[in-house]
């Protein structure tokens, strides 16, 4: 009999009242949070855009640096293979672009090529605007 009385209380008594109040409170909580996602998105969006711009600028700088290093290596290879008939400046500019500057230094046994390539400046001015690469080879 006690069991039935307890079941009646849970179904119709105090516990039932608690369940109803909980539903009302839960509905009020959902109504109060409706604009929270929009506000959080508006706060976070500028930071996400800034990080994306910096990553794109960094990727561009790394790409130009790799092509600049390739241009220096091609120029040294041109000198080592072709000797006096070579055109290291033309070979380096063919790889790195016509706006790159190339300087060749001949030593007693070694040849050194330095290539400077311009990079599009990033909006914050944090990354370098010129990338320099150097390659050395033994002249035969």
What's the pTM? 0.67
| Structure-token match 């539903």, residue found | 23
Q: Is the dihedral of CA 7, 13, 15, 21 positive or negative?
A: positive
In sequence order, the β-bridge partners of residue 101 are 116
Backbone φ/ψ region at 137: left (φ over 0), alpha (ψ -120 to 50), beta: beta
Show pLDDT as tens, one digit a residue, over the chain (140 residues).
Answer: 555 555 545 555 555 555 555 555 555 555 556 677 888 888 999 999 989 988 998 899 999 999 999 999 999 999 998 887 889 999 999 999 899 999 999 988 899 999 999 998 877 777 888 999 999 999 77
The 3-class secondary structure across 43-66, one letter per residue, is: HHHHHHHHHHHHHHHHHHHHHHHH
The confidence score (pLDDT) of residue 73 equals: 94
- Is residue 125 within 8 Å of 134, Cβ to Cβ? no
| 91: nearest Cα among 109, 99, 79, 83 | 79
Angle value at C-alpha 88, between 82 and 90, nearest 5 degrees: 120
- Any idea of the CA torsion for 34, 36, 37, 38, to the nearest 10 degrees? 90
* β-strand pairing of 101-106 with 130-138: unpaired
């Amino acid at each position: 009999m006690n069991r039935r009385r307890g079941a009646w209380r849970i179904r119709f008594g105090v516990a039932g009242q608690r369940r109803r109040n909980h539903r009302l409170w839960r509905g009020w909580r959902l109504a109060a949070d409706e604009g929270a996602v929009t506000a959080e998105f508006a706060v976070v969006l500028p930071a996400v855009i800034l990080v994306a711009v910096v990553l794109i600028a960094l990727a561009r700088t790394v790409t130009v640096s790799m092509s600049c290093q390739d241009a220096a290596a091609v120029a040294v290879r041109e000198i080592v293979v072709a000797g006096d008939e070579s055109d290291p400046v033309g070979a380096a500019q063919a790889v790195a672009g016509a706006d790159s500057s190339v300087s060749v230094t001949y030593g007693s046994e070694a040849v050194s090529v330095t290539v400077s390539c311009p990079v599009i400046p990033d909006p914050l001015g944090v990354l370098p605007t010129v990338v320099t690469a150097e390659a050395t080879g033994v002249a035969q």
